[in-house]
Amino acid sequence: MYKIKTDQFEGPISLLLELIEKRKLDITQLSLAKVTDDFLEFIENKDNINLNNLTEFLVVAAQLILIKSKALLPLFEITPEEEEDLQNLEERLVEYRRFKQIALQLEKMFEQKQVAFSKKEEEIVTKGFIDPQLKPVDLQNAFNKLIKNNPSEEELKEETLLKVISLEEKMVHLKSFLQKRIKVAFGETVAVAKNKTEVVVTFLAVLEMVKRKTLFVSQSAAFEEIFLEKRKIDKS
């Protein structure tokens, strides 16, 4: 089982989610970027990837991002479609665990030679009767009737694949933005955002860069525009 190790927590990711949901751990003090980087490094160093660990991490990570977004943005609300997507992800994880458990049980039974298969009953072939008065046109009519009663092709609904934007990608984007400008408004960085999720990821990237001391944030008053400046590195 994969375990997370940060300054605030050490243990399985499922326990981390449980402590955060019970408000026993402050999610705003947790670096989700570090959690993700550590997990990616973990699976890169593994010859065989445990799919159970991978699927569990994806589901819990999605929930943690949602909880942190709500904590940092009190007015943040998710759409019914986004809520349904998260619920479907959880259901798929439960279904995967069920199949995984059954597969392990079957494997154990095979190893212990406890699996037996019954012989399939022989099919009884009945002799058919062909009417001597049957004409080719009768066969054609029967075939046409079969085609007519066959359901028409169902046009499948097109689904749009959403591009997943990572926290690190947004941080690189912000650094590139600040290479051309000394000072930039946060609103400009999300002006071309395609959805609410991209805005949240951009905001989390800003917070992470502030925490890493690579970005300076200023605001003249509450609810006013937030400005971003690249922090100068002190070489003294």
* Pairwise CA distance, residues 53 & 90, whole Å: 14
No. of helices (H) and no. of strands (E), the chain: 8, 5
pLDDT band at 197 (very low <50, low <70, confident <90, very high): confident
User: Residue 97: helix, strand or coil by DSSP?
Assistant: helix
**Residue partners of 89: CB distance under 8 A and separation at least 6:** 58, 59, 62
The per-residue pLDDT for range 20-44, each reduced to its tens digit, is 777 777 767 777 777 777 777 777 7
What are the residue boundaries of the structural domains of the chain, listed by start?
A: 1-114, 164-236
pLDDT band at 196 (very low <50, low <70, confident <90, very high): confident
Sign of CA dihedral 31, 34, 40, 42: negative
* Pairwise CA distance, residues 167 & 217, whole Å: 18
Question: Average pLDDT in the 64-87 region?
Answer: 64
- pTM given for the model: 0.34
pLDDT band at 54 (very low <50, low <70, confident <90, very high): low
pLDDT band at 211 (very low <50, low <70, confident <90, very high): confident
Least confident among 33-37, 49-53, 60-64, 222-226? 49-53
- Asked whether residue 212 carries a pLDDT value surpassing 60, the answer given is yes
- Residues forming beta bridges with residue 226, ordered by sequence position: 219
Superfamily of domain 164-236: Structural maintenance of chromosome 1. Chain E (1.10.10.580)
